[in-house]
Chain A
Amino acid sequence: MEFGPHLMLASLEGAVIASILALTAMGLSIVFGVMRVVNVAHGEFFMLGAVIAWWVASHVGGHAAFGFLAALIIAPLFVGAMAAGVDRLILKRIEYDPDRTIVGTIGVLYIIQQTTLMTFGPDARPVEAPFNTRLALPWFEWGENGFAMFWPWGLSTTSYKLFVIVAAAVILLALWMLITRTKLGLIMRATQQDSETAQAFGVPVGRVYSWVFGLGAGLAAIGAVLVVPIQQAHYLMGHDPLLLSFIVVIIGGLGSLPGTVIAAFLIGMSDGIISVFFSPTLAKIFATLLVAMVLVFRPQGLMGRRAP
């Protein structure tokens, strides 16, 4: 494939990855920002979202869209409620101590993974996309006959992939409104900035934490429901989203929501675009080092403020 179309295809693919990543990482970012804990089980909440989506879709008859829509509502609610339960049952009792939270959430990770393996099984299971038309894309070039349009071999995307990008943007926008325009958002921000003062002003910090933890997990689940018609539900699929969202949150700057989105796009796109120039594994190595170097030279992250 010629350079131009190749770059365009890689960018489109990168945008899809970045959209999902932005949603998943946003979940982690909110938890990290407000509660200051590392949730190692975040990837498992993602995986649960995908598995539940499969379960819902396979129990809802009719057109594939019904199952998908049902999953889009049920999966995040269920996963969010479960995460809130984890918060009440475990995190609250270990007082959100950073080290203990790591051990505790590793424990939760094992529990969720093993339970899924025993019930859902080890196979990767597909969910049918509500719609999935292959869209061939044109490319323009100045040739001998002036400006010409042609259809390069292989340059295409699918309607569903474009939908994922749009859906992620809409959800992120809604989240932004929630946090900046509503009272709930105000309470969250107050808790994030100074939980003790917030408590003194009557904010039920404990309950806010549960909500936030549930919201974070729910966002991961939404990301998973969106991705599962492209990839498949599998009990080990939470591994990469965890690492990537973790990286995104830190690169973006701790607690900065715009930073998280920017970082998600930086990482998603760079992965795609660098792969145009190098062999796949080498591209991955360079992309990884590039992102690490961002942090080495800007330790507070892209949008983060210098630590006091």
Chain B
Amino acid sequence: MTASRKSMGLHLGVLVVLAALFFILPPYHTGNMARIMVLAIYAMGYNFLFGYTGLLSLGHALFFAAGMYGFGMTVTQLGLPVPVAFAFGILAAAVVSLVIGLLALRTSGVAFMIVTLMFAQAGYLTILYFGEYTRGDEGFVIKQAQRTVAGIDLTSEAGRYGAAFILFAICFLLLARLVQSPFGRTLIAIRENEERTRMLGYDATRLKLQAIVVSGAVSGMGGATYALLFGYVGATFATVQYSIFPLLWVLLGGAGTTVGPLIGVLFMFYLIDISSSYTDAYMLIAGVVLVLLTMFAPQGLAGELRKRVMPWLP
């Protein structure tokens, strides 16, 4: 079996398992899985920039929030139909990431981290500043009635899981394809050696900008999906913490692997959820596990898999 076939099999396999889980798991865990898939969309968006292009951003919460507010505010305040508002959310995130990209790409390395961090911080404060419209930190609720698409109630367990699954699957397959396309391979080349890629005649800055926009749009889609499925929009999602989460998920799951983000989110979610049912000190456990993981699985979970048993893992 060729690598690309194996990879195709793997991706379809993951999706089949995710679809089947809905029928197997008890309701609490299907609820969690829906949430995990939504957050995994965000993580995949992040991974595209960090794992494949090699740009470490600390400002992705801004893109997540752009999608979230872009969708949430147009659907509640302008009364746009859900699909239009959803598309608007993604567009908003793409535009924001384009602007940030144009500025931030003048820098690289740690300076890139800081510039993205600061723009995101300014974005967070802007949400608070326009509290009259955004309701600041408190945020706002999207009513159940406004969360229906084509007659399907997305607030029902099946509707939510289905929507999360479909949107996750689209991003999952598209991104898996994209990283194996010439565009994706050039990005990997930039990650490995930018100078050489430039010398081969590629416009690295332009490609990186495109990567930021793709990454930002997917992250924004994660934000819009969260608002759509869980009915809440708030400034907390624009804080630094929510910029660090995807980095953590991706590093844990395995940067530069297509399944890594999902694994990372899944791992982190259940790490907190399970340990918190045994002790109040669950962050302590989470901390110890992170330390151990980085000591013994330096490539992240999927990265270790790739290194040890599945070298073809995309």
Touch A–B, Cβ below 8 Å:
yes
The verdict on A295 contacting chain B, using a C-beta distance below 8 Å, is: yes
Contact with B along A68-106 (1 / 0, CB 8 A): 000000000000000000000010011001011111101
A275-293 with Cβ < 8 A to chain B: 281-282, 284-285, 288-289, 291-293
How many chain-A residues does the 8 Å CB contact rule pick out? 45
Contact A285 B291 (CB under 8 A): no
In the complex, chain A residues whose CB is within 8 Å of the CB of B288: 107, 111
Within 8 A of A (CB), among B107-128: 107-111, 113-115, 117-119, 121-122, 125-126, 128
Q: Contact: B251 with A250, CB < 8 Å?
A: no
B212 at the interface (CB under 8 A from A): no
How far is the CB of B250 from the nearest CB of chain A, in Å? 10
Residues of A within 8 A of B287 (CB): 106-112, 114
Cβ-based interface call for B290 (8 A)? yes
Known contacts A251-B114, A296-B104: does B289 contact A307 (CB below 8 Å)?
no
Within 8 Å by CB of B118, from A103, A109, A291, lies A291
- Let me know if A90 and B295 touch, CB within 8 A: yes
Q: Measured between alpha carbons, how far is A107 from B290 in the docked complex, in Å?
A: 5
Tell me if A289 and B122 are in contact (CB < 8 A): yes
Query: Secondary structure of the B side of the interface?
Result: helix
A104 touches B291 (CB 8 A): yes
Q: Cα distance A289–B59 when bound, in Å?
A: 13
Q: Cβ of A256 < 8 Å from any Cβ of B?
A: no
Contacts of B240 in A (CB 8 A): 239, 243
In this complex, what residue of A is CB-closest to B59? Answer: A292
Q: Mark B82-120, 1 if CB is under 8 A from A, else 0.
A: 000000000000000000000110111111011101110
Indicate if B255 sits at the interface (CB-CB under 8 A).
yes
Check A104–B294 contact: CB distance below 8 A: yes
Residues on the A chain within 8 Å of B125, using CB: 281, 284-285, 288
**Proximity bits, B112-148, A CB within 8 Å = 1, else 0:** 0111011101100110110000000000000000000
Assembly CA distance A292 to B58 (angstroms): 13
Q: Given the known A-B contacts A100-B294, A102-B247, A106-B244, are A114 and B118 also in contact in the complex, defined by CB atoms under 8 Å?
A: no
B128 and A281 within 8 A (CB): yes
Interface CB pairs A-B, < 8 A, 5: A114-B283, A243-B117, A296-B104, A296-B115, A299-B107
What are the 7 A-B residue pairs with the smallest beta carbon separation, nearest first? A110-B287, A107-B290, A111-B287, A107-B291, A292-B118, A299-B107, A114-B283
